[in-house]
Every structure is written in structure tokens, then in C-alpha cells.
């Protein structure tokens, strides 16, 4: 089963599309350009940038989110290439190596990219940029990856071999989240006044689809009196 969702197919800003592509898995995507969003000051006419991917292959679950820095070419090309890999390997680095994205030569588009392969409640990931992989329990939200400001481009495949690796372990009853910074920087560029760890924990009791619905609503509406909905969102919620 391959569940690929690209922001270019969702042009109305702030409209959330939720789906449950597999048992225990939910996805949410918002896209489109909000002309009043501070994010548009640095992006010009580029919009519809986020993308997400869920692949179920036997006992393995492949997950990815991407948030292009400019345009759609990088995020969409990289996740489309991952979706086309015929067999999901055990190692996320091997998954990236097997993908052959269209390079879009001459495009300025670069993207964050977060890839995780789960087998049961344990997994391995590779990250580029500031998207997040978080394990949520009733007591804590724990980031699994180290975020940075490094972007990748389909035309530079050598960069895909240099991502930051990390391990994932989800305890019984826990949730695994992958999301772009439209969640934790829903108040654009201001993570301290955006959705944070306390919000992720507070929503923990919901099933994956309801959790995705409530989390995206919180990000779009803003928290604690601060504005939200100032960037696009790609979100995957998994209960192993």
C-alpha cells in the first residue's frame, strides 16, 4: 500500500484533508498560499509545498514528510521517487539510495526531508532540516531527531547520503508523529508561541485520526492567544 499526498493537489490554504490509509495510521495535509501569512514574505509566489508518504510493505511501515523551502519541485519529486521504490528496505538510507527523483535542473526548490522505517514499535530514521519525529506518551513528548536548517535538492543525490540518522522506539500505548514546522511553528518563526510538547501530550488519549484532527485544528487556530495557521502542514500519526 502506497499513500502519497502532495500539497499541489490541495490549493485552499487552511483546509485540512485527513485520511486513515492503514490501521493505526492517520495523515493530515494543508496547503495553498495565505497572502497574509508572514511565511509568504520569504517565499514570493511559491506555495503548495508540503508532502507526505506512507508505505506499508509486509511488516514494515515507511513514513516521510517534506516541506520545500521554495516551490514544490523538491518535496514532491523526492517523495514521489520514494513512493516508486518497489520494495521497502529495512534501512532508511537504502530507501533514499534506491529513489531516483527527477532533478528539476535550474529550479531553486530545496526541501526538508524526514524518513522513518518502522518494524513494529521500533524503527530507524534519517532527517534533513527542521521537520520533527516525536514519540508521545501520556507523560512526555520526546523528539527523536535532531533538527537543523539543512535542505536537500533532487538534483544533488550525494546529499541524500549525509542525513542525520536516529533511532525510534515507541512504548506501549505511545504515538509516533512526523510533522513539518506548520505544527510547531504555526505562529510563523516563533516556536515558543506555537504548538509545543505540552500540547502534544495533552492530546495523547485520542486515536490517530482524531489526534491528527485535533492537532491540526490547534495549529491552525493558534495556542494561548497567539496566531496560528501561518504555514502549511504535513502530519503523520502512528500507533504501532
Distances from the Cα of 28 to the Cαs of 126, 170, 180, in angstroms? 21, 21, 11
Number of domains in the chain: 1
* Run of H or E including 141: strand 141-143
90-118 confidence digits (pLDDT tens): 999 999 999 988 888 788 888 999 999 99
CA pair distance 184, 194, nearest whole angstrom: 5
Domain that residue 131 falls in: 2-238
pLDDT tens track for 2-29: 999 998 666 667 789 999 999 999 999 9
Q: Which residues of the chain have pLDDT under 70?
A: 8-12, 32-48
For the purposes of burial, counting CB atoms within 10 Å of the CB of 45, is it exposed (0-12), middle (13-18) or buried (19 or more)? exposed
User: What local confidence, expressed as pLDDT, does residue 33 receive?
Assistant: 62
Q: CA 151, 152, 155: angle at the middle one, nearest 5?
A: 150
User: What is the structure's pLDDT at 42?
Assistant: 55
> What distance in Å separates the CA atoms of residue 203 and residue 200, rounded to the nearest whole number?
6
Whichever domain contains 42, its CATH number is: 3.60.40.10
Amino acid at each position: 500500500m502506497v499513500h502519497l499526498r502532495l500539497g499541489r493537489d490541495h490549493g485552499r490554504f487552511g483546509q485540512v484533508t485527513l485520511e486513515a490509509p492503514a490501521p493505526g495510521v492517520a495523515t493530515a495535509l494543508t496547503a495553498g498560499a495565505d497572502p497574509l501569512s508572514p511565511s509568504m514574505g520569504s517565499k514570493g509566489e511559491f506555495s503548495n509545498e508540503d508532502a507526505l508518504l506512507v508505505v506499508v510493505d509486509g511488516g514494515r511501515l515507511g513514513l516521510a514528510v517534506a516541506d520545500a523551502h521554495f516551490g514544490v519541485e523538491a518535496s514532491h519529486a523526492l517523495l514521489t521517487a520514494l513512493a516508486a521504490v518497489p520494495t521497502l528496505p529495512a534501512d532508511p538510507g537504502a530507501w533514499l539510495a534506491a529513489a531516483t527523483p527527477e532533478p528539476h535542473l535550474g529550479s531553486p526548490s530545496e526541501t526538508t526531508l524526514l524518513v522513518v522505517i518502522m518494524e513494529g514499535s521500533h524503527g530507524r530514521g534519517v532527517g534533513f532540516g527542521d521537520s520533527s519525529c516525536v514519540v508521545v506518551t501520556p507523560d512526555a513528548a520526546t523528539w527523536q531527531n535532531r533538527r537543523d536548517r539543512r535542505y536537500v535538492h533532487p538534483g544533488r543525490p550525494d546529499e541524500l547520503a549525509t542525513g542525520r540518522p536516529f533511532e525510534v522506539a515507541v512504548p506501549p500505548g505511545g504515538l509516533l508523529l512526523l510533522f513539518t514546522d506548520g505544527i510547531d511553528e504555526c505562529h510563523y518563526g516563533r516556536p515558543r508561541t506555537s504548538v509545543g510538547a505540552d500540547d502534544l501530550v495533552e492530546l495523547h488519549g485520542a486515536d490517530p485520526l482524531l489526534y491528527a484532527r485535533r492537532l491540526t485544528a490547534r495549529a491552525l487556530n493558534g495556542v494561548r492567544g497567539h496566531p496560528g495557521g501561518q504555514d502549511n502542514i504535513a502530519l503523520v500519526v502512528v500507533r504501532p
